[in-house]
Amino acid sequence: MTTTVEPTTEDLETQVGAFAERVMMATIGSFELATVELGMRLGLYAAMADGPVTPPELATRTGIDARYAREWLEQQATSGFVKVDAEAVRGDADTRIFSLPDAHKVCLLDPDSLACVAPLATFAVAGPPVVSELVDVYRTGGGISFGGYGADIRHAQAAANRPQFANLLATEWLSAMPDVVARLREPGAQVADVGCGCGWSSIALARGFDSVTVDGFDLDEPSIAEARTNAQDAGVAERVRFETRDAAGAAPGRYDLVCCFEALHDMAHPVEVLAAMRAMAAPGGTVFVVDERAADALTANDPDPIQRLFYTCSVLHCLPVGRSQEHSAATGTVMRTATLERYAVEAGYTSVEVLPIEHDMFRFYRLRV
Ligand SMILES: C[S@@+](CC[C@H](N)C(=O)[O-])C[C@H]1O[C@@H](n2cnc3c(N)ncnc32)[C@H](O)[C@@H]1O
């Protein structure tokens, strides 16, 4: 006789948590492999075999752009692939010195060694079509637009944040600002969603507040087209409109709430965008920015895997996206609180409040107009 033991709710929760973490760790690993491939293709590790480097020295040795050299080195240090030999002098990140440990030289640079694992990185990134373009922009200092990464990235981005918005935005996140919730419950309340992507945040806001209308703006035309379809399918199209527009030039106005979800660090001109968001807020309105929960400072061999994830995203995607327009601030994924605060001051805000909302990935900023 066989007996089937049903898992308890507690067992199931433990298993769900363990598996979700396992997949997240694998994702970070695959992103890190892509940064290894980038370093291999650009000869960055080979250049470091000649001795320790600062970011500008690595750029000179390999002929790549200095800002990208810095981001790659910082990410590699965050992941523990290179070491920090000497910290930045007087906070100047370009003076930090990095080196490649001897054991890592064997694994990455000795093609005859049984321990040579560099080809594994090539396998891992054989699919993504943008690697060759990344190699180019790392040399030229150019960028790749969000749309230039193709439909898969657009869909992955939308799918990753959709459950966050659907489950948390209109409830947990906004309840940290009770006055905003009260205002959104008033008839005729209006919301702007800047960098709305495929529109799931706008849709969640319309679903969460019965009489609210939402205007979503994004630079990427295919995202806006999908956002319109998503709003239609969700049955909120009459209260949610989308427009293709550069947020740095968005119209001044009348919005009770002006939001930007995980997009400011991707924007070439974050100060101009924040200034436009400020102008869009109605008297007494609120500006709400959600962006990555970046650590306050660079930590080599960071025990927090999320910081490694942020830097891999920055090296491979967000920094090039941010640099796809001229005169970019070149922020990257790792937009620290101090950076956001500086941008906000330059955009004319009087203060920035970090809201007490628990989240592994995001930090929540309320900007005083
Ligand atoms: C990481 S995605 C986030 C999208 C969406 N908010 C979400 O959470 O899924 C960043 C978005 O910012 C948009 N973006 C970048 N620069 C922009 C700009 N200057 N004006 C408007 N949108 C911009 C991109 O097209 C992209 O859809």
Ligand 1 centre distance from Cα of residue 146 (Å): 8
Ligand 1 centre distance from Cα of residue 123 (Å): 30
**Cα–Cα distance measured from residue 62 to residue 280, given in angstroms and rounded to the nearest whole number:** 45
C-beta of 193 in contact with ligand 1 (< 6 A)? no
User: Which segments of the chain does DSSP mark as H helices, in order?
Assistant: 9-41, 44-48, 55-62, 66-78, 102-109, 118-124, 131-140, 151-164, 178-184, 200-208, 221-234, 270-280, 305-313, 319-322, 337-346
Q: Supply the pLDDT for residue 64.
A: 98
Average pLDDT over residues 267-275: 97
Ligand 1 centre distance from Cα of residue 300 (Å): 29
Average pLDDT over residues 328-357: 98
Q: Supply the pLDDT for residue 4.
A: 64
Domains of the chain with CATH codes: 9-142 (1.10.10.10), 149-294+335-368 (3.40.50.150)
C-beta of 196 in contact with ligand 1 (< 6 A)? yes
Condensed to tens digits (0 to 9), the pLDDT of residues 280-291 reads 999 999 999 999
C-beta of 84 in contact with ligand 1 (< 6 A)? no
Residue of 154, 198, 219 to mutate, ligand 1, most atoms within 8 A of C-beta: 219
Q: Supply the pLDDT for residue 132.
A: 86
* pLDDT exceeds 70 at position 338: yes
* pLDDT exceeds 90 at position 343: yes
Average pLDDT over residues 204-213: 96
Atom of ligand 1 nearest to the CA of 195: 22
Atom of ligand 1 nearest to the CA of 263: 10
Residue of 218, 262, 272, 359 to mutate, ligand 1, most atoms within 8 A of C-beta: 218
* pLDDT bucket at 125, cuts 50 / 70 / 90: confident
Say which amino acid occupies 334: V
